[in-house]
Amino acid sequence: MRQIDKLDITDNKRLVLSVGEFRGSQRVDIRTFVKLKDKDEYIQTKKGINFNAEWVDDFIKMVEKLKDTKFE
């Protein structure tokens, strides 16, 4: 997987966006990473999603709807 971007959620947790190939198909992976204690290194967790790259346009449309959403 090739990392595209990351977003620090807390001091020891980050969200990482990656792309790569799995079993012959291009995949997008959005996963939570946690920082190791007393180190500046993050490790991948099982928390996240992975989907076919063909869905990127639809996924972006879905996420863009958050701009108009009122959070209560």
State residue 38's pLDDT score.
86
Tokens encoding 58: 């639809």
| pLDDT-above-90 percentage for the chain | 86
Q: What's the mean per-residue pLDDT of the chain?
A: 95
Q: Give the tens place of pLDDT for each residue, 1-25.
A: 999 999 999 999 999 999 999 999 9
Q: Is the pTM of this model over 0.85?
A: yes
Q: Do 44 and 17 touch, CB atoms closer than 8 A?
A: no
Q: Which CATH number fits domain 2-68: 1.20.1260.10, 1.10.3660.10, 1.10.10.60, 2.30.31.10?
A: 2.30.31.10
Q: Do 61 and 68 touch, CB atoms closer than 8 A?
A: no
Q: Do 53 and 19 touch, CB atoms closer than 8 A?
A: yes
State residue 55's pLDDT score.
97
Q: Give the tens place of pLDDT for each residue, 59-68.
A: 999 999 999 8
